[in-house]
Structure 1
Amino acid sequence: MKICYISNLYPPNVLGGAEIIVEKMALELVKHGHESIIITTSPDNEKHVINRDNTKIYQINTTKLYPVYKQTEASGLKKPFWHLFDLWNNSTLKEIKKIVTEEKVDLIHINNFKGLSLSCFKAGKDLNIPVIFESHDFSLICPRANLIRGNNTLCQQRNTICNQYVKIQRKLLNNNVDLLISPSNFMINKFKENKFFNNTKTVKIPLGIDYESEKSEKNYNTLNITYIGSLGKHKGVHTLIKAFKTIKNDSIRLHIIGKGYEEEEFKQMAKPDARIIFHGFVDNKNIRKFYDMSNIIVIPSICYDNSPLVIYESFSTGTPVIGSNIGGIPELIEENVNGFLFEPGNSESLKEKLLKVINDKELLKKLESNSAKTLPSNSLDVMVDKLISEYSKLLN
């Protein structure tokens, strides 16, 4: 079969884990004897067709004002107007239909779509091709995609403008999706709460990683606590720094890996604690060594994280995770088995969990052993096999 993966970003243009997952799906499908093409946004407003790794990548010109991969740099009135223009794009619809027709695609698998507009969902219906939507964020029910307000608190109730925006998206999406996939039940339920996909088949498919699980050798002379992700308050990095600084122990280190809006603010907050080390952005090819050297990975999010790829990667090296009890995180962490959960945004709650493993090396070793058994050794094959099974059901 021939699958068209639609994703607003695709490596090397990366802002998060979603586009990395899309690339893994596309490449693994080829290894399983099928064909993949990619439709994504252009980084320079010019159309490109790139042949790479036995896949064909179409980069198409879409929403104006600024390209998707520069959304973290945009400010002022550009952002709301960008979202307005991005609701529907007939040019994008025509271009996708042209590509899909010429490539004789059997099925369309849409991932993050912002920058390609909701018109991309209609292409399949117009051409009588099944459409799968795999959701990685909350773009359909939140303009910011993370259900977080500007003051970094959870959005429990939308304001009038956001509510109208969501109603328009619900209408434009219509019944153009044949199957909804998510790596967490939390996200599926959140959509249904907001009257999306109530009549659509849904399935949870956990993520997979492209290397086999192998427990790394750990050093316990100095305990390395690591955060990997974007540096924003919605990710709770400030909660982690605050909790760590109150622990009086010279044999622990906090490694912070990533980039983001509040990076400088976090660096100032960390001073003068020399135990806190900022490593900046580390690409996916070099990140494994940080999991190997870490004793604990912390996911301190205050937002509704869907199913963080960091947790899967951490478990693959036998590294336990301490995570916020929010979103899809509790679906991956089993308390006192492969990690701990703490109250989101509560530095004292996080400190308590950190001290458990800092003060009890035997407990830490037990968590490591259990973490190494959490994922199947070939988790990427398991994910792709489940995808192919769902593809076959739709096509048959």
Structure 2
Amino acid sequence: MSTKPSDVSRSKPEDMRVLVISHGHPDLSLGGAEVASYNLHKGLNELEGVRSFFMARVGSPYPRHSASALMGHQGADDEILYFADDYDHFLLSNRNTDDIRRDLQRFLRTLRPDVVHFHHFIGLGLETLFAVRETLPEAAIIVTFHEFLSLCHHHGQMVKTGGTKLCNAASPIACHGCFPDISPGDFLRRERFVQSMLQIADHYISPSRFLAERYIRWGLPGNRMKVIENGLNISSEAEPRRLSSEEDRRGRFAFFGQLTPYKGADVLLDAIGRVPETAWGDDARLMIFGGNLERQPEWFQKKIGESIEKAGDRVRFYGSYQNSEMPRLMRSADWVVIPSVWWENSPIVIQEAFFHRRPLISSNIGGMAEKIRDGVDGMHFRVGSAEDLADRMTEALTEPDLWERLRAGIRRPSTHVECAEAHLELYRGLVEGTSALDDDGTQAMKQTA
């Protein structure tokens, strides 16, 4: 895609123009935030009166095509890539301000969007918010949060370094405890810089109430926060796994996700070995669909390898998968397990499982506990406890009617078009100056599903 003015001219003079900005394109970087932002872009373009454009950050080893940071993507006239790899992970800052001034701001002046919606700024840098405001003083700027990166230097996980102890609040002193080489003064400088840049935005969106509340307590204004769940773009539901006889059980458990220490695959593998043989039998199975284990710390790779070997025939490891494969993979599963040891926000696998009407077994914290209703459409277990997870899996294997009862309680998740409609309502209110903002911050507690 070229970025000449002719390529971004308005399809209709009255159409609202929206630029959705993401830290990655799902064709190149498959993650929940990338998929959510792209689904929003696609959903907006299915609505009347709005035209959406999608900008995704890329960096090394993806090749920069020329002197410009801007690049096309597969010939799409509404998608563009922005190359940025000079990034300060501590300050969430882009050191290459020359590219921002020369290329990003030129693109913004050409496109002239009414709304610029950041679905992430990692890799792009917080300076891009300032660049948008400087270039387009009348445009509405929205930021969607996907984790606690603005609060937490530890990969935005809000988990203490050196283990899996959960962190309940960020502060310069507490953060210095996790990173002794970084002074409390430096953490205070980080906090003030990040908050000041985020204040540039007109509104914030969180896919979960839990995450919204954390950011409000940290210092963002509650009257500029709204909860809108991400939408799914899936065409057909995977039918239930076919049972060969009336005696067959719903005993197939599936894990979908990255094999990182925070996703809890090690807890799940430990739990598998704790389920009694009388409950497990010969027909139960755990299927692990996950990748990137080779990128994890050596100690974790060794732990997972040993756990899989110890679990023996109870576990099948299938490696990484593409999002397009999910319906086919879900057909082989009865239960989906989310054993994450960090808070999570709104992992897409929850919505995918619910779309395909698979009950979930999850840790009892954060966005997981908010999205999955214990005893209604899934089961909770105490976070990090292999023993408690084993008990829930035993229940799943030994209570004949449990799967059907929990499946009946599942609510249909929002589609990408329904999600786009909720966003468009907010956009119009901001652009027209009619968005109602509550002084007490209760706007953040109003969830759009």
Q: Same fold (TM over 0.5)?
A: yes
Q: For the Cα contact (< 8 Å) 1:51–1:57, is it kept in 2?
A: yes
For residue 403 of structure 2, what is the aligned residue in structure 1?
A: 364
Residues in 1 aligned to 2:191 and 2:213: alpha-carbon distance in whole angstroms: 18
Query: Is 1:271 paired with 2:279?
Result: no
Q: Which shows bigger deviation, 125-134 or 159-168?
A: 159-168
The percentage of aligned residue pairs carrying the same residue is 22
How far the C-alpha of 1:191 sits from its partner, in A, is 1.0
CA RMSD of aligned residues (A): 2.2
Q: For the Cα contact (< 8 Å) 1:88–1:118, is it kept in 2?
A: no
Query: Is 1:257 paired with 2:285?
Result: no
Q: Deviations over 1:215-271 (max 9, x none)?
A: 622334461101101111211111111111111222210011111324553132121
Q: Deviations over 1:111-154 (max 9, x none)?
A: 12111110111133212111000111211111212122342422
SS at match of 2:317: strand
Q: Deviations over 1:335-355 (max 9, x none)?
A: 111001111101111111111
After the TM superposition, which residues 3-18 of structure 1 pair with which residues of structure 2 at under 5 Å, given as runs? 3-18=18-33
Query: Is 1:101 paired with 2:109?
Result: yes
Q: 1:91 aligns with which of 92, 98, 116?
A: 98
Query: Is 1:114 paired with 2:153?
Result: no
Residues in 1 aligned to 2:272 and 2:20: alpha-carbon distance in whole angstroms: 41
Residues in 2 aligned to 1:343 and 1:280: alpha-carbon distance in whole angstroms: 27
How far the C-alpha of 1:321 sits from its partner, in A, is 0.4
Q: Deviations over 1:24-72 (max 9, x none)?
A: 111121121432222222332343432558553332232338xxxxxxx
After the TM superposition, which residues 119-130 of structure 1 pair with which residues of structure 2 at under 5 Å, given as runs? 119-126=127-134, 127-128=136-137, 129-130=139-140
SS at match of 1:37: strand
How far the C-alpha of 1:101 sits from its partner, in A, is 1.1
Q: 2:207 aligns with which of 183, 197, 201?
A: 183
Residues in 2 aligned to 1:172 and 1:96: alpha-carbon distance in whole angstroms: 21
SS at match of 2:187: helix
Query: Is 1:295 paired with 2:334?
Result: yes
Q: For the Cα contact (< 8 Å) 1:63–1:82, is it kept in 2?
A: no
Distance 1:179 1:263, change over 3 A: same
How far the C-alpha of 1:88 sits from its partner, in A, is 5.3
SS at match of 2:252: strand
For residue 35 of structure 1, what is the aligned residue in structure 2?
A: 51
SS at match of 1:170: helix
How far the C-alpha of 1:313 sits from its partner, in A, is 0.4
Distance 1:60 1:382, change over 3 A: closer
SS at match of 1:230: coil
Q: Which shows bigger deviation, 55-64 or 159-168?
A: 159-168
For residue 218 of structure 2, what is the aligned residue in structure 1?
A: 194
Distance 1:202 1:85, change over 3 A: closer
Q: For the Cα contact (< 8 Å) 1:41–1:115, is it kept in 2?
A: yes
Q: For the Cα contact (< 8 Å) 1:38–1:55, is it kept in 2?
A: no
For residue 142 of structure 1, what is the aligned residue in structure 2?
A: 152
How far the C-alpha of 1:85 sits from its partner, in A, is 7.7
Distance 1:84 1:124, change over 3 A: closer
After the TM superposition, which residues 202-351 of structure 1 pair with which residues of structure 2 at under 5 Å, given as runs? 202-211=225-234, 214=237, 216-218=239-241, 219=243, 220-221=248-249, 223-247=251-275, 248=277, 249=280, 250-260=282-292, 261=296, 262-263=300-301, 265-272=303-310, 273-351=312-390
Query: Structure 1 length normalisation: TM-score?
Result: 0.88
Distance 1:288 1:169, change over 3 A: farther
How far the C-alpha of 1:82 sits from its partner, in A, is 4.8
Distance 1:53 1:288, change over 3 A: farther
Residues in 2 aligned to 1:315 and 1:30: alpha-carbon distance in whole angstroms: 25
Q: 2:175 aligns with which of 135, 158, 167?
A: 158
Distance 1:85 1:334, change over 3 A: closer
How far the C-alpha of 1:163 sits from its partner, in A, is 2.7
Residues in 1 aligned to 2:78 and 2:302: alpha-carbon distance in whole angstroms: 39
SS at match of 1:286: helix
For residue 72 of structure 1, what is the aligned residue in structure 2?
A: none
Q: For the Cα contact (< 8 Å) 1:212–1:379, is it kept in 2?
A: no
SS at match of 1:368: helix
Q: For the Cα contact (< 8 Å) 1:27–1:53, is it kept in 2?
A: no
Distance 1:223 1:24, change over 3 A: same
Q: For the Cα contact (< 8 Å) 1:118–1:169, is it kept in 2?
A: no
For residue 422 of structure 2, what is the aligned residue in structure 1?
A: 386
Which structure has the larger Rg over C-alpha atoms? 2
The amino acid across from 2:32 in the alignment is G
Residues in 2 aligned to 1:310 and 1:185: alpha-carbon distance in whole angstroms: 18
The amino acid across from 1:108 in the alignment is V
SS at match of 1:285: helix
Distance 1:263 1:23, change over 3 A: farther
Query: Is 1:59 paired with 2:59?
Result: no
SS at match of 2:71: strand
Distance 1:4 1:264, change over 3 A: farther
How far the C-alpha of 1:379 sits from its partner, in A, is 2.5
Q: For the Cα contact (< 8 Å) 1:87–1:169, is it kept in 2?
A: no
SS at match of 1:393: helix
